[in-house]
Amino acid sequence: MTNHFGIKNIGFGMGLRTKHFSYILENQPKMDWFEIISENFMNTDGRPRRVLEEISENYPIVMHGVSLSIGSTDPLNMEYLKKLKELAGWVKPRWISDHLCWTGINKTDTHDLLPVPYTKEALKHIVGRIKRVQDYLGRPLILENPSTYLEYKYSQMPEWEFLAELSEQSDCGILLDANNVYVSCYNHGWDEKNYIDSIPKSRVVQIHLAGHENNGTHIVDTHEGPIIDPVWKLYKYIISQFGQISTLIEWDTNIPEFKTVAAEVEKARKFAAKPEKPNDLPSHLKIKVNDNERPKQKKYKATLPDMHGAIISGDVLKAKPAEWIPAKDNFSPAKQLGVYIDGYRHRLFDIISEDFPITRHYLGDKKTNKLISEYVEATPSKNYNLAKYVLKFPNFARKNKVVGRDKAACELIELETALTVVFDWPETKSFDRAALAKIKPEKFYKTRFKPRKALKIYKFQYPVSEYYTAVLKEKNPKKPLKKESYVVVYRHEDEMLRLSLEKAEYIILKEMFENNLTIEKALEKVVNKKVISADKLAEKFQYWLLRWVDNGLLMA
């Protein structure tokens, strides 16, 4: 079936994830297309961009976002939209999609796809925002139906009717996520067939399929594990009704080897090749809404703070969930809201935890978990880019009552933070020996060297980089004793590296990099500070210089 936008069916694809980069580059596997998470490539100039550039030469690419926050009452984030448009200009995707949701208000981000109340006012508000986004991007926006764990008593229409009206009034497309339909129907007692039959067929551009986690009272959309049979059955029904539509497999948690995900893609291809119309779609109507009394209608802008405030503060009772969330059997309004409250904390906890394995080794699990949990409670995320959430962690640790007294721990956190953030900094061509040979001897000492952009230089009171290396080598080292150390953290040929420096070497680099001194002036500084004698410096400098060049510290 041809969609309203004339966007062609491009077959069957899978999400492009870091774990599969090397396999795809080395094997050029059979795959019709790949979908990227837009934000993963908007905020990095590291290896992901170069991998994407190479992969996009051989496969069609689709951009899928998670941070547009089309349902928010905050102004549209023009910095985000500018980066999104720039990425699209570079990638040239077949289409751009995001979600029917909001991710935060008051410039505080939950990094979650939060449900909107389905009211006439919300419809008008979101339609207006979609039109502005589409005008800015110069192309239709494709919006995905969400998976949700609570409803609003304020809603005036069902989700499928809201989505249909939204697409028609804004002239946007629909990304129909079969797993999300299943999840939300299970959670709220909706009818799958009625949902699918109500979606305007000409608006559907893409289908998503994924795994989930069934917790009995509710299902959480985890994008983990193989797709279950009821979701495959729903997919068959969609294809029987809508015809062939570009289909993608999502697998984002505990990601397996490429071939395992590719097998799910082939399963979708097989089902779509022989469309059949199942007549026994599962019924979820056993989950009954006990309290369907609609409260006095609130302005749309006033409906979001209750949920947002509860998520950020963790205070369920203050949000009075029973007043605006319908109760369900064995799943109270407080517990429904709790899914989002817990999810927010787990998400931020995990993003910090995975970046500090050596700190965890040093402090132990108990202290590390306590420190990260306290950071999450004290530090709301203020940026859609989740990678930036780590930036305030070193300063928080230094002020922490327990960890702050351990200076080695604080410096280790500073080091691991640098290894995380420098990874995404811009790439620059490094100065090599051939370039060095071209500098005329009489001009050499007047030369100014600049650091490559993905580089940061440190002076520490403890040998934390040595400790880091020892842990990696599984030597189970003792906690370091106080001893000054000097380290440069940098990315070279897409690899994060650490290079220990001597004190004089550190001062020379610091003077050249931060004060823009010539080699001659930097050498004079280190001698004047009596860190090293002139004779010793003459003996060492050539070795240091070649080491800087060979390790790619200097910018071409």
CA distance 421 to 387: 8
- Closest by Cα among 44, 88, 82 to 64: 88
CA distance 113 to 143: 12
Same-domain pairing of 269 and 317: no
Domain ends where: 257, 273, 289? Answer: 273
Same-domain pairing of 377 and 432: no
Distance of CA 362 to the CA centre of its chain: 27
Written as six digits, the tokens of 370 are: 């306590």
Same-domain pairing of 263 and 152: yes
The Cβ of residue 38 has, within 10 Å, a number of other Cβ atoms equal to 25
What is the three-class DSSP state of 538?
Answer: helix
Q: Is residue 151 part of a domain?
A: yes
Burial class of residue 193 in the structure, from the number of CB atoms within 10 Å of its CB (0-12 exposed, 13-18 middle, 19+ buried): middle
What is the three-class DSSP state of 36?
Answer: strand
- Closest by Cα among 258, 147, 150 to 211: 147
Domain ends where: 361, 377, 406? Answer: 406
Torsion angles phi and psi, residue 191, rounded to 5: -100, 120
CATH of the domain at 178: 3.20.20.150
CA distance 536 to 522: 15
Are the C-beta atoms of residues 400 and 359 closer than 8 Å to each other? Answer: no
The single residue listed with the structure tokens 């080292």 is 477
The Cβ of residue 276 has, within 10 Å, a number of other Cβ atoms equal to 11
pLDDT at 279: 77
Domain ends where: 255, 273, 291? Answer: 273
pLDDT at 270: 96
Same-domain pairing of 46 and 174: yes
Q: Which residues of 521-540 are buried (b: 16+ CB within 10 A; e: fewer)?
A: bbbbbbeeeebbeeeebeee
CATH of the domain at 440: 3.90.930
- Closest by Cα among 324, 342, 356, 372 to 215: 342
Q: Is residue 280 part of a domain?
A: no
Q: How many distinct structural domains can be found in the chain? A: 3
CA distance 542 to 535: 13
Q: Is residue 284 part of a domain?
A: no
First and final C-alpha spacing in the chain? 54
The strand ranges marked E within 58-201 are 61-64, 96-99, 102-105, 108-114, 141-144, 173-177
CA distance 234 to 240: 10
Torsion on CA atoms 492, 488, 358, 476, rounded to nearest 10: 100
Same-domain pairing of 152 and 200: yes
- Closest by Cα among 326, 271, 22, 310 to 153: 326
CA distance 361 to 409: 10
Same-domain pairing of 364 and 490: no
Q: Are strands 108-114 and 102-105 parallel, antiparallel or unpaired?
A: antiparallel
Are the C-beta atoms of residues 70 and 130 closer than 8 Å to each other? Answer: yes
The strand ranges marked E within 204-343 are 204-210, 213-214, 219-220, 246-250
Q: Is residue 285 part of a domain?
A: no
**pLDDT averages per 10-residue partition of the chain, 556 residues:** 89 97 97 98 90 97 98 98 98 98 97 98 98 98 98 96 98 98 96 96 98 96 96 96 96 97 98 85 63 76 96 96 94 97 97 97 97 98 94 98 96 98 91 95 94 96 97 91 97 93 97 96 95 94 96 94
The structure's pTM equals 0.93
Same-domain pairing of 346 and 402: yes
Same-domain pairing of 234 and 327: no
User: Up-side HSE of residue 207: CA atoms within 13 Å toward CB?
Assistant: 31
Burial class of residue 275 in the structure, from the number of CB atoms within 10 Å of its CB (0-12 exposed, 13-18 middle, 19+ buried): middle
Q: Is residue 494 part of a domain?
A: yes
Q: Is residue 290 part of a domain?
A: no
pLDDT at 288: 52
Same-domain pairing of 335 and 246: no
Domain that holds residue 445: 425-550
Same-domain pairing of 443 and 388: no
pLDDT at 476: 87
Q: Could you give the maximum distance between any two Cα atoms of the chain, in Å? A: 89
Same-domain pairing of 153 and 186: yes
Distance of CA 13 to the CA centre of its chain: 20
> Which residues have CB under 8 Å from 86's CB, separation 6+?
42
Q: Is residue 306 part of a domain?
A: yes
- Closest by Cα among 48, 68, 317, 338 to 220: 338
pLDDT at 367: 97
pLDDT at 293: 64
Q: Is residue 317 part of a domain?
A: yes
Same-domain pairing of 390 and 504: no
